[in-house]
Structure 1
């Protein structure tokens, strides 16, 4: 039920309704005419009858997003994924402080996306444009929460709909991995210098040979290595932020056993012997039984690993990629060699096969072209075989 009151030159509308046997009120003022106030009241009474929660939209967007994250996301996410959401929470706190959920317009949200991708300069210092992928990750998380708010009847419209992200373009996909020739050169360069002083080279070699993520490589312990079966078991990861202990893998599928070559097994076995001798000489304990414990008693961080990789790549004349690019190189090389995409997906520990297909669609398309050529050749040969058989029978008559 609605009531209306004129205050000065404007009208105020008040709606009353019952929710869970409790009477609720929603009031809005500032209407120029009574007809405008009536239109607002009629529209919102219809929303209430359809299950909308008008009061829910009046909460601060920062409070809503935090509660949404705690309820729907935090319980099911790995620590690394939770950190990404916590980053987004910080962004929302900085950009939407004091803003109610039902106040944000599509144009305001688009302005936020524009400013996020292109930060304003501070004290005359230009800020680096954020990457397109960074903008996309923030937008995806916010959009999911807003769509749930619409679904729950807290707001009537999705203010993230039909907005556009921007940012620094990503590197071309072919710049994220090495071709087969450079992968071979890198393998030989890394194998030629395996010792505890250059530990990050062995880390790079393991990633190149297994496709494991940096945190997974850093979290390997000697009980994960089986010389008998030539395998490495990924059952945990290294906490690259805390840098003192293990953390969970990115997703449940990331827990896996990866087959390695006998040669890789031999390298690890020989390195283990060297590590035991060196750590004893340096009087360094290894209570966590880590494979990659440096001569100062710490696990190398990803910055050190990337720096080492950059130097080696420059030395062999290969294009520059990141440590994560070794994972892409591993997968791309296997696709190039015709290995099943489903096996590659399990080897990489992807959450599902569609992730692998999406990430490596560029390689799959290239291989499809090759397979299409093979198919046409095969079909042509089949036709010629049939014709030869028919001609032979006709000749023999």
Structure 2
């Protein structure tokens, strides 16, 4: 069967990988001339399989007023004349309750662990080179209240409790000596030894290379934008491309991230997805940096910043700017990342070579992706992964392949249906 996948980020490529494994003829379409050029390009680098708590959290509500007054706040909001922004925000605020948070964690954890098993199997079988390391993750807390909440979350899940342990501040520094400068500010941390890290862009390029090999090489249509979908009699017949024209398909998968809502709206499919901009810096590790940087992936919970050691660089990522479709790199946000990295790990950061990036994470209000059929019998969507795209990509691709084949899914899929993508009781359609 000929299946087109729109989107050559990590989610689209993972979908293409799983579908070709099922024996399908796969065509990957992306408006960029290379794979992985949007949200996958320089993300945080952490594969956080057991740390999948959504941004929608009851604790965030009390912080919003103070964040609105701070230019360096972890979450920043700029109102737009866009009803979709306001509808998404209202739905997001509705999701900031303990029941929806625990529901999202309960849905995401099986998918995340499935993704981990697929990544490990892929690395073992194919030896992909993407700076992959099984170095564990430490989430550090500066606030006693959030540290207590994190311990309660572990206690609520047997799966989490079996892999995670709470450390006091001294134990955090003993585990990761690079945190010594932060010791006076720490209440403790949650350590998960089984977490991984890697370079998402490198994995995109590795998947592209391998997809083009073998008996059923995938076709890549890069540098050409899908402008519309040709549909009739309940089916998608073709993708209309700006340069190539009409591309006939048997099945179509939309994995186009934040661009997906506009593409699907003409078919009457309303996706509750809005872009949440994140930033990263990649700090080159010279001799001094290599000695001072962390070996374990670190997340600063209060600052909403992650630190992932990747071969010869330290990837630092964070922030959540709800500012519409603006992917520009804002100097003050980059300055905040540099300042926080320097304060955490040393003055060597000021002299290091640093590259910067910003990307639009396609987020649902609940933090759960949408993996479902919608709008036509042969139209599938795999979108809305927010900050967890790298972590959930392989599992999402596997789940999509199961659904398309009509077989029993490897993990429960009800939580990822389009109808369940917004908080319980919130079912008002979004306007295009």
Q: Which has the higher contact order (CA 8 A, sep 6+)?
A: 2
Larger radius of gyration: 1
Give the structure-1-normalised TM-score.
Answer: 0.22
Greater helix proportion: 1
